[in-house]
Structure 1
């Protein structure tokens, strides 16, 4: 590439760097790597301008050009970047602007060079099984109509002739239909709403999300006691003197849409309220020709009225799932994050639910092992900082999750955390053979307890409650399509690491792969103890790719 002018600088860097506009760039240059067929590979080109240059055109030249997408790394505000008492594995603790949304670069607008600020362009290469193996040069150039070429960087990507295996991990990020309707100002389950839902589901699938939270009734999640979230109820209920009848046409449309998009598993929204299972979710029914709320916070979950409703509804739902051949792809929730003192209510709820499920699993975020040992939940989902007792107990098909309170030692994905801390989860999921990963915030664009809707481009901490980066992975796009985030892309890289390790295991055996992971580490890798450096992750993945290449060429 030509030498950049003194007024404009560029540097190729890895996807694990975060470029802040208010500090010098200390990331080392990164311009060579490898990837497998079927992988989405990403790197960045950081740029700096001495003075304002608007617009700057960004172009790419490569044999892979038709597979490459360029996006501008935008800045998002954070009032609450972290919890108090955080550990040292963070980038900063101050409020301010953090790199996160990956904004489309419009041809007419290009990108902006702002005085003495480092910014970056995110370069994604979508590889498939037809991608030519071998080394490909990718050149990214910055130019203006008046100045011509300002600068640029070249990156060499070697495509290895081995496709990533299909993802076996079940992965869900809770999908909030109400937030889509609220932000875009459209009627729930109108045609416009369905179209937007489908776009967001497709983006989820593209990033390794293969299970979708399905709102049979409005999910009783992050809702103030006595409050309500916007109704998003797929099941139509009618109540009369003979009991209840149910319409499942919307649910059928949801399932068909999900199948078309690539969703393989369904988790049905919680049948009891969060943090204790003491009440019913909001359920709307037609009563005497009018739509009315028949259950909610004023409903005793253990009372006969709600039990009678479930005894009538669950057989209809289960028969429908068998008719749709979903009995092996359906998971149920009782109540999110119950504590030990909630066991009596949870037990009552579990008995009602499991009596009808014909062995289909119940899964819930659980801190205490007692819920599993007492048979209250078949698929416990402990947080990654509470998982050790479950691992020691040998719980089969174990899942894990993290959220706003997992901010010491373990992996997470807040704005202020290094991207390596986010991506490391893939190797941890592999070592401990996790069956699934759950997170609550795909697109939660409300304040805590859903007291009001927010603009996620302005409020990223749910109204000073959840550290920025916890509540959502995607931002709303102008055209009804989601805008992805650095955190979403990097977690996908972790899932690709998991799949690459599974491929290597099929070639050399699990024991040798585990030896590779822990070679040179001061202690065995756990959910709390792992290499913190981005360089370790990048070098390790290159060693995995090299081992795969060596074995497929023999």
Structure 2
């Protein structure tokens, strides 16, 4: 049912639509959907007026209202939405305003309708666990109507849309995928102008960690020392070092793990299960040590950094003292199976020898731990230099053919053709399809470098993420961050919500596999396709993706019914 006043239009849309202000809506209305208990479900209501209206009130009427939030889809600018080379699966490659940031709707301000400009509200329903049901009273129904009404301040109804959500009598299972989005601790401090690891900083860190965990991040980049990532050669990022270091007079070192201990506790409380220890050698070649600060004769000094050769005896001596104590800390807290280590990020073929030396040095003390690194050259894995390689999703073939186990993947700015990604300029279906691909190929881990990178490329200066979304014309907008810095903490993007949906699709398929077998799950994914689903080959149609998820949920329901009747 749709109700609207003269000169005011509304349309109910799925979460996969992107509503641009001046473009006519091409997507058909979608007013029904299905979900599992313990799932987060989102849809949109687009609206357009022929006149300026301020202070529009939004009312939601439903039994699901206690679990629902309404946000305004804001427009984010992009000077560089894409590289010169693209493929056919982009919405646009022209600079402009893109729907992305999801602003909370303040009751005192309401929404605005600008003349002849489409805007949208984003409705999110966080369903409780199945046993609890609604209001803690157990499940009472499967079909729930959600009525959204937009009103002028006078109370006059401008528009109204109804959406029906069918909740399948099953619960979304716990996430198996190990998922990290690199968490930039320094960016939070600089953006909010707080001292690093002050109490104000810790409070903000907690809010951002919780947001990450709520969106499926369960492996968190942990800055033992300031991560040597996205830093200009010879430059440095603000010091975010959790390990205290004191240089003693006899050439030895003393270490303090109090901040690291607090970090672990904060993360565990927020739902983080795994810890990704920051890289112990520099990015792009493992040629230098990361920046490490220490107390020397009562003063804080940098004792290692770009000036330190990775193969130097001094740095090796430091690691030989530090790593055994770190291992003791990890074991004392029972974290042996929850810790991942890095050597160096994105090494290339000509870095094989320095990477090998660095890897061997670390493994003298960390031989029993898991190592991961983003790399797409199969030879590093072939030579046994990294236990868990993380190739980009456009370089998966060699790793699939080699039966790499466990299999991980990542994407970043370089994956701009054929494969899944989440740039502003790409349709949301290209973001979400990754969940089906991760399931089909039994991918156990996903890595991305940009949860909240709010600096320019190489971290040369701080940027305003609400104005600069491409790291100052370095990466296509949407690559460097998925959350924005709100006054009190993180503000989500629609890309971040859609990526959570991708992970939920993977979990729903895992549930179906447990009920009806893997063959049935794969059959549902590839039903009617001209060729098998691949990282580079997949339908780009939003309707296909929504239909796949609908078929998955219907198959789960049928399997449960069949089981109950036996």
Q: Does the TM-score normalized on the shorter chain lie above 0.5? A: yes
Aligned positions of 1:205-220 closer than 5 A: 205-220=213-228
Listed one character per residue, the Cα deviations across residues 297-337 of structure 1 (whole Å, up to 9, x for unaligned) are 00000010000000000000011101111100100011100
Q: Give the whole-Å Cα distance in 2 for the aligned partners of 1:298 and 1:427.
A: 45
Contact 1:128 1:163 in 2 (8 A): no
Deviation at 1:146, TM superposition (A): 2.4
Residue 491 of structure 1: aligned partner? 499
CA distance in 2, matches of 1:81, 1:491: 19
State which of 339, 347, 360 in structure 1 corresponds to 2:348. Answer: 339
Q: Partner of 2:514 in structure 1? A: 506
Query: What corresponds to 2:3 in structure 1?
Result: 3
What is the alpha-carbon distance in structure 1 between the residues aligned to residue 2 and residue 173 of structure 2?
40
Cross-structure match for 1:436: 445
Match of 1:445 in 2: 454
Equivalent position of 2:39 in the other structure: 39
Give the total of aligned pairs: 553
* Residue 58 of structure 1: aligned partner: 58
- Corresponding residue to 2:202 among 194, 197, 202: 194
Check 1:79–1:321 CA distance in 2 against 1; reply closer, same or farther (3 A cut).
same
How far does residue 118 in structure 1 lie from its aligned partner after superposition? 0.4
- 1:147 deviates by 5.5
Alignment of 1:111-190 (within 5 A): 111-129=111-129, 130-131=132-133, 132=139, 133-146=141-154, 148-190=156-198
Q: CA deviation at 1:123?
A: 0.3
Contact 1:276 1:339 in 2 (8 A): yes
Q: 2: CA distance between counterparts of 1:253 and 1:487? A: 31
In structure 1, how many angstroms separate the alpha carbons of the residues matched to 2:276 and 2:37? 30
Distance in 2 (alpha carbons) for counterparts of 1:412 and 1:455: 23
Q: Supply the distance in 2 between the matched residues of 1:278 and 1:266 (Cα, whole angstroms).
A: 24
Matches within 5 A, 1:6-21: 6-21=6-21
Q: 1:247, 1:195 → 2: CA distance?
A: 22
Answering whether residue 467 of structure 2 is matched by residue 471 of structure 1, we say no
Which residue number in structure 1 is paired with residue 89 of structure 2?
A: 89
- Hey, what's the Cα distance between the residues in 1 that align with 2:437 and 2:90? 19
Return the match for 1:292 from 282, 301, 309. Answer: 301
Secondary structure at 1:204 match in 2: helix
1:6 is displaced (CA, Å) by: 2.2
C-alpha separation in 2, matches of 1:22 and 1:230:
41
Q: Structure 1: 5+ residue runs without aligned partners? A: none
Aligned-residue offset at 1:145: 2.3
Q: CA separation of 1:33/1:201 partners in 2, compared to 1, >3 Å: closer, same or farther?
A: same
What is the DSSP-based 3-state SS (H/G/I as helix, E as strand, rest coil) of the residue aligned with 2:546?
helix
Equivalent residue for 1:374?
Answer: 383
Q: Is the 8 A contact 1:71 1:102 kept in 2?
A: yes
SS at match of 1:527: coil
Q: Secondary structure in 2 aligned to 1:292?
A: strand
Structure 2 runs not aligned, ≥5 long = 134-138
Q: Which residue of 2 aligns with 1:520?
A: 528
Superposed CA offset, 1:417-458 (max 9, x none): 000000000000000001100000000000000000100000
**Following TM superposition, by how much is the alpha carbon of 1:241 offset from its aligned partner in structure 2, in angstroms?**
2.1
CA RMSD of aligned residues (A): 0.8
| Partner in structure 2 of residue 76 of structure 1 | 76
By how many angstroms is 1:23 displaced?
1.1
2:559 aligned residue? 551
How far apart are residue 354 of structure 1 and its match? Answer: 1.0
Indicate whether 1:268 and 2:277 are aligned. yes
8 A contact 2:5–2:157 mirrored in 1 = no
